[in-house]
Amino acid sequence: METTTFGAIQTTPTGGVSLSSKVFGVDLDALVNSLVDAKKIPITQKNVVIDSNTAKITAYQTLQTLSTALNKTVTNLRTPSVALGGDDLFARKAAFAQSSTSASPTGITSIVPSKTAETGSFTLKVNRLATKDAINSSGTFASNTATPITTNGNFSLNGTNIPVTTGMSLDAIKNAINAQTATTKVTASVIKVNDTTYKLGLQSTVTGDAIDVTGSDAQVLTDLSIAGSGATDTSLSAELVYNGVTVTRPNNKVTDLRDNVTFDLFTADPATTLSVDIRDDSEAVKGGIIEFVKAYNAVVDFVKTQNTINSDGTIPKDAVLFGSSALRTLYSQVQNAVSGTATGVASGINNFRDAGITLDANNKLVINNAILDTALLEKGAEIKNLFSFQAKSSNSNFNVLSRPNILNNIAGNDIVVNVLGTSGTGAATSANIVYGGNTYTATIQNGIIRAPEGSPLEGFAFGYLGPVVNEGGAPQTTTIKPTQGLADKIGAFLETSLGTEGLLNRAVTDLQDKNTRINKDIDLLNRQIDLYRERLAAQFVTVQRNVSILESIKSSLDATFNNNNGN
């Protein structure tokens, strides 16, 4: 549609109306825009609210990120085997070695215990490393294309026959041998000594295995000037002296010398004896504590920013969560745990202060390395109790498989589990749980003993691996006293807070829902304003037309009047 003009009124190609002139000195188009702008004030106010909510959402998401990082650090310190995954730092073991000479223990061997390795001490000496057998031809050949075979025959390597013929070059023989490497575990190469001197070399691909050439045709061995190296599997194996006992192994990665300990052998040094001590890895625990302190202090810094007040009593623009109940709840719960005590720990270190971890004037954690190092070295079990969840059983046939995050008043109290009957394989079929003077019938699922729903112990599950128990006979019983350390308390609260229905996610969702509703209101207001503009334009179009008619009548009357008066 083209633009058309009726006096001072223009119809646009989109069908709208534009008022392009003044009536009685009034710019109608500007007047309409002013009236419409006045109607837009509520939209501007709503957009301000959206911007504020969006800033809060971003701040809550930052808090979620910081809290997730904090939760990750405490998970590693709260005995994850009965928590929710993670790396149980208290289960790590480390090997500490001292050398009888100036040789560095790490230059001789690497000793890596797994988490299930037993602590203890032993001595170790590496007399010889495992090597790969090698055989080189005693004679030489003029070139790599020389044809040394004088009679067709077989070349046998570790029981596999490789046919060779008189027309085969040295390179071709090498290729024939390498085609069988997957079976023989032997590779061949042509060694160039100089321009007119070449040798055939054989190399085992595995340590500790001697190359066996027996079974080869005698003439073939003569033609290739190859003979057995004289090595034996024993002479090619690594030789170690463990606690005074000499042992051999076929390679330099030894995994069966001590249960759950891996030795990587680097250098043979018969003159050096290593004194090795395997114990709990206190350095790993300290590293985890340092990471926890950093993550906690990052949360403190964020909370401080959100709770800052200017000197004139106003709230800074970046303190968008000032007064947030979700922020206040999360921080107070975590801070209470940090400044509190481990629950159920009757004696020893049960608070951060005794471990050398204190709060400074800004409520941030500070580590006294000397105190913490001494505690880790001399009181490792107490540090473990300080941080983690513990549930020691009086009967080794029982263990805790799972438990609730929030222990309330359970920590420090006795839980008695009685297995009343089992299957023929020893899997529990009936059991009860005694707690607080009450006896609860346990639910059994695939041999797992679970506390019934609605009981104070709901969420606890126990495993039983013991002798068969006949119904009506003597039960198998254990007493378990759970304790809850500070890392476990913090982790338990954070997991709830960071969950789908947790307080942080709810705060974000509520703000997002509010913005959605406000945007719908804005869309409705915009439609109403568009209709209002159209209505105003139509009304002023009528005014313009009427004025145009009046002006036309006035002009006609003026002309008639002038004619009648001889003008």
Nearest C-alpha neighbor of 155 from the set 139, 137, 142, 140: 137
Encode pLDDT of 230-280 as tens digits.
898 999 999 999 999 999 999 999 999 999 999 999 999 999 999 999 999
Under 8 Å CB-to-CB from 178, ≥6 apart: which residues?
A: 187, 188
User: What is the predicted pLDDT for the residue at 86?
Assistant: 65
pLDDT higher than threshold 80 for residue 389: yes
pLDDT higher than threshold 90 for residue 392: no
Domain boundaries, the chain: 4-39+511-564, 93-130+237-280, 134-235, 282-387, 389-484
Question: When comparing pLDDT for 424 and 544, which is higher?
Answer: 424
Residue 399 bridge partners (DSSP): 463
Token readout for 301 is 């810094």
Pairing status of strand 274-280 against strand 120-128: antiparallel
Nearest C-alpha neighbor of 468 from the set 447, 439, 490, 451: 447
* CA–CA distances in Å: residue 276 to residues 102, 120, 121, 122: 16, 8, 6, 5
Phi, psi of 156 (to 5 degrees): -100, 130
Under 8 Å CB-to-CB from 376, ≥6 apart: which residues?
A: 282, 285, 286, 383
User: What is the predicted pLDDT for the residue at 21?
Assistant: 55
Query: Three-state SS for 416?
Result: strand
27 pLDDT band, cuts 50/70/90, is low
CA distance 325 to 96: 50
CA distance 302 to 66: 9
163 pLDDT band, cuts 50/70/90, is very high
CA distance 499 to 68: 10
Nearest C-alpha neighbor of 51 from the set 526, 507, 515, 525: 515
Strand boundaries in 281-395, DSSP class E? 357-359, 365-367, 389-393
Nearest C-alpha neighbor of 190 from the set 172, 213, 216: 172
What is the end-to-end Cα distance of the chain in Å, rounded? 46
Encode pLDDT of 332-366 as tens digits.
999 999 999 998 887 889 999 999 999 999 999 99
Per-residue pLDDT, averaged over 433-441, amounts to: 95
pLDDT higher than threshold 80 for residue 189: yes
Per-residue pLDDT, averaged over 62-74, amounts to: 95
For the whole prediction, is pTM greater than 0.85?
no
Residue 249 bridge partners (DSSP): 238
pLDDT higher than threshold 70 for residue 466: yes
Encode pLDDT of 477-489 as tens digits.
999 999 999 999 9
Encode pLDDT of 193-204 as tens digits.
999 999 999 999
pLDDT higher than threshold 80 for residue 28: no
- Kindly state the greatest CA–CA separation across the chain: 150
pLDDT higher than threshold 70 for residue 83: no
Query: Three-state SS for 374?
Result: helix
CA distance 99 to 108: 10
Per-residue pLDDT, averaged over 305-316, amounts to: 90
pLDDT higher than threshold 60 for residue 17: no
Encode pLDDT of 502-526 as tens digits.
999 999 999 999 999 999 999 999 8
Question: When comparing pLDDT for 25 and 439, which is higher?
Answer: 439
What is the topology classification, in CATH, of domain 134-235? Alpha-Beta Plaits (3.30.70)
Per-residue pLDDT, averaged over 536-561, amounts to: 80
CA distance 463 to 476: 12
CA distance 218 to 210: 19
Nearest C-alpha neighbor of 277 from the set 296, 258, 303: 258
User: Which of 36-45, 133-142, 534-543 is predicted least confidently?
Assistant: 534-543
81 pLDDT band, cuts 50/70/90, is low
User: Which of 307-316, 373-382, 551-560 is predicted least confidently?
Assistant: 551-560
User: What is the predicted pLDDT for the residue at 25?
Assistant: 54
Angle 290-296-299 from CA coordinates, rounded to 5°: 145
- 3-class secondary structure per residue, 431-456: EEEEECCEEEECEEECCEEECCCCCC
User: What is the predicted pLDDT for the residue at 7?
Assistant: 41
Residue 188 bridge partners (DSSP): 202
CA distance 200 to 259: 43
In 8-147, alpha helices (H): 28-39, 41-75, 105-108
Beta-carbon-side half-sphere exposure of residue 558 (alpha carbons within 13 Å): 6
CA distance 472 to 474: 7
CA distance 31 to 93: 82
What is the rounded average pLDDT for all residues in the chain? 90
CA 496 to chain centre: 18
- Percent pLDDT > 90 in the chain is 72
Nearest C-alpha neighbor of 239 from the set 130, 353, 369, 334: 130
121 pLDDT band, cuts 50/70/90, is very high
- Percent pLDDT > 70 in the chain is 93
Question: When comparing pLDDT for 217 and 43, which is higher?
Answer: 217
Please name the amino acid found at residue 280.
D
pLDDT higher than threshold 90 for residue 222: yes
Question: Are the beta carbons of 158 and 276 closer than 8 angstroms?
Answer: no
Query: Three-state SS for 422?
Result: strand
Residue 202 bridge partners (DSSP): 135, 188
Per-residue pLDDT, averaged over 398-413, amounts to: 85
CA dihedral (192, 194, 199, 202) positive or negative: negative
pLDDT higher than threshold 60 for residue 82: no
pLDDT higher than threshold 90 for residue 43: no
What does 391-413 look like in DSSP terms, one character per residue? EEESSTTEEEEE--S--TT-TTS
CA distance 301 to 296: 9
